[in-house]
Amino acid sequence: MFTKILIANRGEIAVRIIRACKEMGAASVAVYSEADRETLHTALADESICIGPASASDSYLNAERIISAALATGAAAIHPGYGFLSENRDFAELCEKNGIAFIGPSAATMKSLSDKAESKKLMKEAGLPVIPGTEALSGVEEALKEAEDIGYPVMLKARSGGGGRGIRVIHDREELQKAYATAEAESKAAFGDGALYLEKYIYPARHIEVQILADESGQVLCLGERDCSVQRRHQKLIEESPSPAVSDAQREGLIALVREAVPKIGYVGAGTLEFLLDPQGNFWFMEMNLRLQVEHGVTEMLTGVDLVKWQIRTAAGIALKQKQEEISMTGSCIECRINARSTGKITALHIPGGPFVRFDTYLVQGVEITPFYDSLLGKLIVYAGTREEAVRKMKAALCELVIEGVETNLEEQLALVGEAEFSDGTYDLRFMESR
């Protein structure tokens, strides 16, 4: 096992990883920007080191400064969390060159899977049903030709996109001509890569993702699916596991497909395969996330498997201990993302309690919410024996959660879980369109 781990992130995910390190007996190193000097993750870590000013490009996205911090503190490994450098193959390669373990897939694996068009090709070869689409496009003329072959509507997507960004729904030839150059420029600015590709727009649909853990021996654990269909502009708001739209037979079939496909691509660590579920009950592979997901806690609460610890262990070469048949997926787990809608200082904070209620956050009273980073304040997660009980528990927990000093989306989340479509589990990706 690693004796010291540097966490190259901030906020609630840095806090989550530091706590896992403490429980595993590994020393932790926090890095922070000047804006995060007084935040919780810097206080919880065994060591903390400033890596630059508030701007993410000068701190949390500055690979050289993070590597220097790891070398200066003697960290054996770096955990990137999610976002920032978590899926950056150049950073993973830089870790390898400096003799530091990267807690995530290898740079070579990232190279083949981070290109979304290439990853679909690999997964198709591995036996997964893949959404019809293209590889990286050479320009608008090729896009127009391919769109005609696929059939409108289509999705125009950034090859290196993530977090719901770099996606456009295109309904006709004229719209594609107008959108292509803008999408290319935005992709270049956001991801450093202007390459785009097309895929068939499957609609209506549900967004279903499958959580896996894989070790170096090729063993793969599939920890069930999460339903992430409550989204606004491709940004997830509520997640749950298991999905109310997936039958036991569908789940068994999907798990079998995923467990057969993942060893063929040589993946090691925690990862998530994302699918669209169409009205006919077909699953279509979209992409694979090569990191811990924001919503990993939903799966942890449902299965009892600590994904952060096992992500660290598999990176250290430790084999998975559990067998697939030992993974329990009984009950229901729901997560609401709590986001800030303004900046300011937290003046009052009350976190709900009770059995099987969890709030992953970095908030403490007096902390300053700044405009420099993601608006996520925390993730409220509940578990119950039935979905009906989990919905009631979530309503109660949302009513009990108090965050004062900044505007939040608490009231909206309470309204959403009270909607009939959510309560009865019939919602899909159209759920937020009229809200």
Active-site residue set? 291
Half-sphere exposure of 25 (CA within 13 A, CB side): 2
Tell me how far apart the alpha carbons of residues 113 and 79 are, in angstroms, rounded to a whole number.
Answer: 19
Burial of 64 (0-12, 13-18, 19+ CB in 10 A): exposed
Tell me how far apart the alpha carbons of residues 24 and 308 are, in angstroms, rounded to a whole number.
Answer: 11
Tell me how far apart the alpha carbons of residues 295 and 298 are, in angstroms, rounded to a whole number.
Answer: 6
- H/E stretch holding 30 reads strand 27-33
| DSSP codes, 205-217 | -EEEEEEEEE-TT
* Residue 39 near residue 113, CB atoms below 8 Å: no
* Residue 364 near residue 346, CB atoms below 8 Å: yes
Q: Which two tokens stand for residue 342?
A: 């303004």
* Residue 173 near residue 395, CB atoms below 8 Å: no
Those residues whose C-beta lies under 8 Å from the C-beta of residue 19, and which sit 6 or more positions away, are 44
Give the count of beta carbons closer than 10 Å to the beta carbon of residue 279: 11
Those residues whose C-beta lies under 8 Å from the C-beta of residue 364, and which sit 6 or more positions away, are 40, 346, 349
Q: How far from chain centre, in Å, is Cα 312?
A: 17
- To 5 degrees, how large is the angle CA 197–CA 81–CA 284? 35
- To 5 degrees, how large is the angle CA 264–CA 289–CA 279? 90
Give the count of beta carbons closer than 10 Å to the beta carbon of residue 322: 15
Q: How far is CA 85 from CA 63, 110, 250, in A?
A: 8, 12, 35
